[in-house]
Chain A
Amino acid sequence: MPSKGLLLRILEHDTGGKIFLSLLAVVAVLVSVLNLAVPEGSPLHVSTYTVTLLGKYLCYALLAVALDLVWGYCGILSLGHAAFFALGGYCMGMYLMRQVGDRGVYGNPDLPDFMVFLNWTELPWYWFGFDQFWFTMLMVMLVPGVLALVFGWLAFRSRVTGVYLSIITQALTFALMLAFFRNEMGFGGNNGLTDFKELLGFNLQNDVTRVGLFLISALTLAVAYFVARYVVNSKLGRVVVAVRDAEDRARFIGYKVESFKLWIFVFSAMLAGLAGALYVPQVGIINPSEFSPLNSIELVVWVAVGGCGTLYGAVLGALLVNFAKTYFTGALPEVWLFALGTLFVVVTLFLPHGLVGLLKRRRKKATLNEAPT
């Protein structure tokens, strides 16, 4: 089959990717079956809470892949990727708000509750269209994409690089956070968007819907992984890596460095938006704190822990760190920030290539040791 051939060709020399995708498929199937088919009393039953939690992790993993594309492959350390994630989330949140219809507390068929509360009489113009699912999905990609396009065009054109870029991306997400905190923006202010009822007619509280969202997240992550792998393996990907390693040299050879950077930045922002859109229906809320600079930086540490520039490392890091976060915030909330802080320091000092780099080094050492005998 040609399509299978293509997929395999994409994964050529990508052992980590193969392992990750197989595991992802196994876990996705196993978790859905154990949740839906196994009765609740059974020790093998996976609770819906766990399914949603895993779905959330998969969204984070997708976000981490998006960041790895720009950071690991293009050397752009964006400290504002949470902004793209949150924007995608807000688009989805707006759709879900419109789906609530007249079942809100105030029973207004057009206006979400918070607008009724603010005494608004009509929907702001930017809310139009969000009652259509196709339009929403378009916007989920377009809004972050266009923001990344404008911002990236301005930044790369004037050759803002390195740390400067990191800081202004951080300022970007900070400014957005402040803006979304304002009630006048029409996005629910401090509380954000919440109390969702259903998605495409499926009740969001149902187990089946939850499992469905989990499976869709897994599928999206897998597809995004393939696409991202394809992109980095392509000629474009090679140029992007060249830009990362020696920007001036790539420019002097004749590549339009800005266009390559912009392309990968926009693509990454769209992936982040998609991750946000999958995240919101599972978590059930989107509020301005998703924009907070801390989130973006935490995202960077997921990628760093896993090992940047490998894609599957980003996934591994996102899953591990978030698992640790869930564990610590539940069991030892005091310790979590200590752990996270230490993680930052330890990873940058001792694991420059993350866990994946550690494994690779081990293996290389092992083969070196074996070679003489």
Chain B
Amino acid sequence: MKVRQLSIFMENRAGRLAEIMQSLGDAGINIRALSLADTSDFGILRLIVSQVDKALEVLRKAGHTVSLTDVVAVEVPDHPGGLASVLTPLREAGVNVEYMYAFVEKATDKAVVIFRFEETEAALKVLAGARISVLPAETVYKL
């Protein structure tokens, strides 16, 4: 159920993002979802890609600091209150969300949101208990 996400350390300087995208593009890697967290002088680029291991190799070869992080892709009903219906059981179970970002594509008529939890296993249990749909990794990479 866990999705492998690439996290890349980036200095905040012009053209850096474009360079990374170019090297992934040249290697034929598709970006499924991304988010960029930043501070005044550095940022972390988080990516879900079609071929994780290949992307990792490409980025390391290009000299980037990259790590793999387990995240969870959750299907969220695409109507008002949809996200709240996912977050409420998590909050009740005391599971903390480190960060989250929305997926560009939809698998069904539902939106897909990527979550990073403090404790992934505990979060998966809560989601299953609340009958919230979690997408398998293979589905996510191909979205």
A binds B: no
